[in-house]
Structure 1
């Protein structure tokens, strides 16, 4: 017991510099968000506020229209995640269990698409959405997010589907179950953890995405949270940094909470299908 405790203390000491480096930006963010406006840019800088100004959050919420931005980000992220899973689950099942011509090429295609950045395709996406008349509409952002996350979702799920014993599927097939019934009754209950992990990854991507939102959206009432936080800095003569840090904290908190609660499952999700 003592050796185990000593080993844990040594590990924590070894990891402490890394922990400090990771938490330092969040500490600065929280400190700045709670400072009075006159203390934000004083020199020499003060690390801790002399007075906690919780009203910075309420002022930010009203002045920066964070409420509608939070709603837009939540709606877009949930819609994109749901559509992505609805399309990816049957595609992953087909890639994992059905033999067809071009299967290897399809899997290679999934990997190649992961090498493309939204920045490379942003001009083409904008021209496509403009021809469809969907610029400055949130559904356009949903479709773009689905397009960029679909290949990743299919790859994650088909790797997990391959680990499910074939005997279960064959037993259901002998009972007369169709391919859709086998997917619904056999694969979906067993693949619930993998589906949850994939949904979390897609949601985090959609929540944090900025380039496509800045390209496709025009009206302030359609801004997502990341774009709205950027608007507090870009193009302004005077920047209220305490409000910027408060808005950034609000934008970062949901993702941080999700990652902290599900970190064990997220890490295990990275190795889904690696061992059979």
Structure 2
């Protein structure tokens, strides 16, 4: 079978999965382009696509500030989580110490805890901590960011240490022989080899922070501090009439940063997944 025929066959076999995956996005796009008077009509495609729905949604539903809040929270959470997780994961993968196995099991068990179980205690903790520090952590993106870091840190350490263990220690020892310090070896030799692992961890951490709803709903009560999940739900909840064209436009626009991140880090993502499969 020629290469062209094989490619066509693969695309035919994958087409049902592609259609199933893209169908929700097609529904969101078509609904977002419908005029308000056609929202309840039985027709699939709008009589006239209204691209202005995206502009109206952005200007009249506080989508812009919510987008900025989500970007700030997600980016800060991702960067700080990965920076803190790298030395912890490196220590777990390279050094042997007492209770190392117990600590790894603790990281795994901590992933079983749902934020819903801890949300009331976290609320009281932020109130008490804010009163002691002299500034308010409730209705603050700073408080939400620190909670997101705490919830994602165990996952990031677990992911990174499993990848770090696949990197041969001989490479570090060769750098030590050449006179490099342990820190220089970590930065110049080890971390470049671990870029796929860090990219995979960063993607999942960003997605977790971007999509999180329960903690944000509990900690953020002022609309100017809302993140995107809260703002999108706010377009539906507590209303007599729901403007679904604006809701779908907001939901579709909220997926764009994730799509950009995946496109940017795709090569590292594939290398990271392959590395984990080899292990």
Q: Secondary structure at the match of 1:218?
A: coil
| Residues in 2 aligned to 1:102 and 1:94: alpha-carbon distance in whole angstroms | 13
Structure 1 unaligned spans of 5+: none
The Cα of 1:20 is off from its aligned counterpart by 1.6
> Which residue of 138, 141, 144 corresponds with 1:138?
141
What is the CA deviation profile of residues 61-94 of structure 1, one whole-angstrom value per residue up to 9, with x for unaligned ones? 1111111111100110111111101110110111
Match of 2:139, SS state, is coil
Residue in 2 that maps onto 1:96: 93
For the pair 1:220 / 2:223, whether they are aligned, the reply is yes
Alignment partners' CA distance in 2, 1:192 and 1:83: 16
Shift of 1:270: 3.6
Give distance in 2, aligned partners of 1:41 and 1:47. 10
Counting only pairs closer than 5 Å after superposition, residues 1-276 of structure 1 correspond to structure 2 as: 2-42=1-41, 45-133=42-130, 134-260=137-263, 262-263=265-266, 265-275=268-278
Q: How many residues align?
A: 273
**Greater Cα offset, 165-174 or 141-150:** 165-174
Please state how far the C-alpha of 1:274 moved relative to its aligned partner: 4.6
Deviates more, 1:152-161 or 1:71-80: 152-161
**1:159-189 deviation per Cα after TM superposition (whole angstroms, max 9, x unaligned):** 2222222122223334554433332232122
Q: Residue in 1 aligned with 2:134? A: none
Deviates more, 1:187-196 or 1:236-245: 187-196
* Kept after mapping to 1: 8 A contact 2:199/2:272: no
Farther-moved stretch of structure 1 (182-191 vs 141-150): 182-191
Structure 2, unaligned runs of 5 or more = 131-136
Give the distance between the partners of 1:176 and 1:265, measured in 2 at CA.
30
Q: Do the aligned residues in 1 keep the contact of 2:28 with 2:249 (CA within 8 Å)?
A: yes
User: Which whole-Å CA distance do the structure 2 matches of 1:102 and 1:21 have between them?
Assistant: 46
Q: Secondary structure at the match of 1:20?
A: helix
Shift of 1:17: 2.0
TM-score by length of 2: 0.90
Deviation for aligned residue 1:10: 2.7
CA distance in 1, matches of 2:264, 2:186: 29
Q: Is the 8 A contact 2:33 2:50 kept in 1?
A: yes
Give 1:30 deviation, angstroms.
0.3
Query: When the two structures are superposed, what TM-score results if normalisation uses the length of structure 1?
Result: 0.91
Q: Distance in 1 between matches of 2:115 and 2:34?
A: 37
